């Protein structure tokens, strides 16, 4: 998606005729194409997991080479339901060492939100590079996720490094939220 949006932006600045590309209907159709929701059922534990396929949030920013998000939730059985908790996963690729004490803060329309997380290192996330990766999974109450889907601005801070999500990223999260509602409340 980021590549498609970059190409759309480049065509706008290159003087190409892009008036049609940025019409709301065309943008929504593009986002619909990019919304990739993965659903898997594990019969052994009778559990279904629903995940938004990883979405690139940022390229190089400070010591970070990239940041991706992939919110998910699980429920018992295979009957869809509204989750209580969203596992909001972030994956980083870092130049250098990982900090042992990392302070992560979500800013939702300027409101500070602190969440507990599980954190693990990923060795060599990019083949041929000596970089490190990190997987952080934040236990996000569903109500907080709904707040994000209604937000005008979302910023994720890793200590002093800030990542602002674009309108397109927020729209993907809204679409994922709509997917959750449509699956758990079919009418």
Torsion, CA 6, CA 7, CA 12, CA 13, rounded to 10: 70
CA–CA separation, 139 vs 5, rounded Å?
Answer: 29
Q: Based on the fold, state whether residues 93 and 22 are members of the same structural domain.
A: no
If one counts every other C-beta atom within 10 angstroms of the C-beta of residue 26, the result is 14
Within this chain, do residues 152 and 99 fall inside the same structural domain, yes or no? yes
Please give the residue range of the domain that contains residue 3: 1-34
User: Are 81 and 92 in the same domain?
Assistant: yes
- Both 176 and 149 in one domain: the answer is yes
Q: How many domains does the chain have?
A: 2
Q: Spell out a b/e string for 51-82, using b for 16 or more CB atoms within 10 Å of the CB, else e.
A: bbeebebbeebebbbbbbbbbbbebeeeebee
State whether 159 and 106 are in the same domain: yes
Q: 111-161 pLDDT, tens per residue?
A: 999 998 898 877 777 777 777 889 999 999 999 999 999 999 999 999 989
Q: Is residue 178 over pLDDT 80?
A: yes
Q: Are residues 54 and 135 in the same domain?
A: yes
Q: Give the CA distances from residue 46 to residues 4, 41, 186, in Å, rounded to whole numbers and listed in that order.
A: 37, 7, 21
Same domain, 129 and 115: yes
Give 85 or 24, the one with higher predicted confidence.
85
| Residues 45 and 5 reside in one and the same domain | no
Confidence at 22, pLDDT banded by 50, 70, 90: very low
Same domain, 165 and 110: yes
* Together in a domain, 49 and 107: yes
9-16 average pLDDT score? 34
* Residue 85 and residue 163 in one domain: yes
CA pair distance 72, 86, nearest whole angstrom = 6
Let me know whether 60 and 103 are in one domain.
Answer: yes
């Amino acid at each position: 998606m980021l590549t498609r949006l970059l190409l759309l932006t480049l065509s706008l600045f290159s003087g190409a005729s892009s008036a049609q590309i940025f019409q709301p209907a065309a943008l929504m159709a593009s986002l619909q194409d990019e919304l990739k929701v993965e659903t898997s059922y594990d019969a052994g534990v009778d559990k279904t997991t629903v995940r938004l396929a990883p979405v690139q949030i940022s390229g190089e920013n400070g010591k970070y080479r990239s940041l991706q998000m992939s919110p998910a939730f699980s429920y018992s059985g295979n009957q869809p339901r509204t989750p209580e908790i969203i596992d909001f996963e972030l994956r980083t690729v870092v130049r250098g060492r990982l900090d042992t004490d990392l302070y992560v803060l979500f800013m939702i329309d300027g409101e500070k939100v602190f969440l507990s997380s599980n954190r693990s290192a990923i060795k060599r996330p990019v083949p041929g590079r000596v970089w490190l990766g990190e997987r952080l999974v934040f236990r996000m109450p569903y109500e907080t996720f709904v707040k994000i889907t209604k937000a005008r601005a979302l910023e994720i801070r890793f200590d002093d490094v800030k990542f602002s999500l674009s309108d397109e990223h927020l729209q993907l999260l809204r679409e994922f939220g709509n997917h959750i509602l449509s699956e758990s409340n079919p009418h």
